[in-house]
Structure 1
Amino acid sequence: MFQVAAHPTSFDSHKHGHGHRSSHSSSQHYHQQPAVSSSVQLPRTLARPPFADISREALTAASPELANVPSEYIRRRLRDTAPQMMAGIASLAPSHLPSTLPRSHLPSSLSIPIRSQSSHSTQPSYPTHILAIAPSKPSSSHSADALTIVPTHALVLASQCALLPRFPASSSANPGSPQIQLPVIPVSLPSPAAFQLLHPFLYTHNLGALLASLLPMPQGFVQAPGFGGDHVKHVLGSGQKLHELSVYLCQVSHSLSALTSHAAHIKELWQDCVALGIYDVELWDAMDLAWEVVLGAMNLAARQ
């Protein structure tokens, strides 16, 4: 099983050039202290790991024809093909794709029927592997023997996750084939549940959808036309806007316990990103935004 670390090292924004903390100090007066509940103590900031480029070996194993193509170009092109890849995942017959598999009886591969596609649907690009994800530290909420099953495309992971090793070769489904044979890859991550939120983002890079999966936010905020990295940076630089989002979150969450749960989800996503070696600047900014908002809401709730 591929085991990856759960704890980040410190991030040097001056050295690596994609930190933002020094550029939005105006936000800090709303969130001076880390929020604390009776059972959870949270860090003031989510430390970013040092930058590391993706593995060319893993990338070449996923797609040999891209061996000499710049990684940034590959990532941009993959965003254009995200609808086809998501359609390929959706085409797997759910009745033959379990949500979990027992670690003690994990097959080396799965044969999964492919659902028939409408002639007007997006031509699917079928997944190449199936991840069987175990928690790094099993808890009462997740059985140590139950592995979370996630069909994926090796190229999507290899182009964005610097700390994943190369995956074994996978045969593509033949056109018109009624089923596909996918290798099963055991992986250990801090939070299998958080990876299920992260995985769609690696295809779509939809920051609004990611934020909405982490926290209740005003619909008009995350669905604003053109919502993206620049918008996130702007809000991070505005103490007033952060405060408004924290007030909203505090009002709709109703309890410090609910806010603590939101914070735990963000922290788990952060740990998975570190463990996988994901260095998408906009993703890290979005996590920082969610973290600032939830800490502010917890501090507001604690004073009520």
Structure 2
Amino acid sequence: MGPVRRPAIDPVLSGVPLGYILYNLKDIGPKLSEGAKATQAIPPTGPLHSEMLVKFNNTDLEPPTHILAVHSKQQNGLFTLYPVHALVVSTGCAHLPLLPDSPAIPPGAAMPELTLPVVSLSIPSPSMFQPILNYLYMRQNDVILDVLLPIEDNEVDPFIEMSKKQAEQFSVKELLINARKIWGLWANASALGIFDDHLFTTMEIAWEICIGALNISLDKPLDSGVDVPPED
């Protein structure tokens, strides 16, 4: 008899409103994140398979349920592995591919090695997937602001002052790199179907501040646009 499998999302939650699940994830998400970070995926020596062996030896944490192999269409055969919990990514991403069932693991069981299903995930900006994943687990705007507004004090207000501060601290090249990060995060969130007003508002604020800083550095009016070609 093969290993017992469990659905990607517990059927018990099928009738629970999504908003209620997301609200409670604010409490359990950080602990689940620790479990994901404590997991070491063992990449295959050949082509990517449908399952992968991972190392996990912390019985105090909840082990992940799946491995996401993240890549872009331009990256032929190149991917980055992310251990994840189905509850977090499935409830947060409406456009995520259907996740296969994963092994049922008894709570507190000592399982130094697990075999988890692998799901290939193509997104516009693979390098900006980690911030998205961090946000899905933590549900805190600071997780995004720390990446998109890399200044010593991001509590400065109003926006024009934050733009001036960025213009003082970073070169035009560095500001363009940051603008690409913001675009990459936005493109990933849109592609994954993350319908989170707080996340998109945070990205919009970061974009306005970054473009304002670029305009200052380039001696343009603050309300003028700057075209930033997306790259990854």
What TM-score comes out, normalization by structure 1 length?
Answer: 0.65
Cα distance, 1:97 vs structure 2: 3.9
Length, aligned pairs only: 212
8 Å Cα contact 2:131/2:143 also seen in 1 = no
Partner residue in 2 for 1:75: 22
Partner residue in 1 for 2:126: 192
Partner residue in 2 for 1:132: 69
Cα distance, 1:61 vs structure 2: 4.3
Report 1 or 2 for greater relative contact order, CA contacts < 8 Å, sequence distance ≥ 6: 1
Cα distance, 1:112 vs structure 2: 1.4
Per-residue CA distance 1:256-300 (angstroms, 9 max, x = gap):
111111101100110001001111111011001100100100000
Cα distance, 1:179 vs structure 2: 1.5
Which amino acid in 2 is paired with 1:215? L
Give distance in 1, aligned partners of 2:189 and 2:53.
30
- Structure 1 counterpart of 2:78, from 139, 142, 146: 146
The runs of 5 or more residues in structure 1 that have no matched partner are: 1-59, 118-122, 222-234
Cα distance, 1:79 vs structure 2: 1.5
Give distance in 1, aligned partners of 2:146 and 2:154.
11
Partner residue in 1 for 2:223: none
Partner residue in 2 for 1:283: 199
8 Å Cα contact 2:37/2:83 also seen in 1 = no
Which amino acid in 2 is paired with 1:245? M
Which amino acid in 2 is paired with 1:87? E
What TM-score comes out, normalization by structure 2 length?
Answer: 0.84
Alignment of 1:264-279 (within 5 A): 264-279=180-195
- Structure 2 counterpart of 1:86, from 10, 33, 37: 33
Q: Secondary structure at the match of 2:103?
A: coil
Alignment of 1:42-121 (within 5 A): 61-92=8-39, 94=40, 96-98=41-43, 105-116=47-58
Partner residue in 2 for 1:172: 104
8 Å Cα contact 2:151/2:169 also seen in 1 = no
Q: Secondary structure at the match of 1:81?
A: helix
Give distance in 1, aligned partners of 2:199 and 2:85.
20
Q: Secondary structure at the match of 1:127?
A: coil
Q: Secondary structure at the match of 1:131?
A: strand
Which amino acid in 1 is paired with 2:179? A
Identity among equivalent positions (%) equals 33
Give distance in 2, aligned partners of 1:214 and 1:173.
37
Q: Secondary structure at the match of 2:218?
A: helix
Partner residue in 2 for 1:161: 93
